[in-house]
């Protein structure tokens, strides 16, 4: 239901299409459902189309929250 893989946007070709990085090259991806994409953004791709853009600020905030859980004594 939910398989989605994060990919970096390499080039935005049109409102509906972009190139995402795949290995050493690129692959086409449909982006009609995601707004304001620019190269360097990350999107989650499901069956050939991007379902959402990764909000970096949110990611960072969330990781900080998680990091707060990791007091030095709980680190392996």
> Using CA atoms, how far apart are residues 25 and 43, in angstroms rounded to an integer?
16
CA-based nearest residue to 6, from 40, 61, 54: 54
Question: What is the number of other CB atoms lying within 10 angstroms of the CB of residue 43?
Answer: 24
Q: How far is the CB of 39 from other proteins (least distance, A)?
A: 14
Q: How far is the CB of 38 from other proteins (least distance, A)?
A: 13
Q: How far is the CB of 23 from other proteins (least distance, A)?
A: 4
72 binds other proteins (CB under 8 A): no
Place of tokens 């190139």: 19
Q: Where does this chain bind other proteins (CB under 8 A)? A: 1-6, 16, 22-28, 30, 32-35, 42, 44, 46-49, 51-52, 54-64, 66-67, 69-70, 74-76
């Amino acid at each position: 239901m939910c398989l989605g893989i994060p990919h970096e946007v390499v080039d935005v070709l049109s409102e509906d299409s972009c190139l995402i990085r795949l290995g050493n090259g690129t692959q086409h991806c449909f982006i009609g459902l995601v707004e304001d994409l620019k190269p360097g953004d990350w999107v989650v791709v499901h069956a050939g189309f991007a379902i959402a853009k990764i909000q970096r600020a949110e990611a960072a905030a969330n990781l900080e929250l998680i990091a707060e859980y990791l007091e030095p004594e709980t680190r392996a």
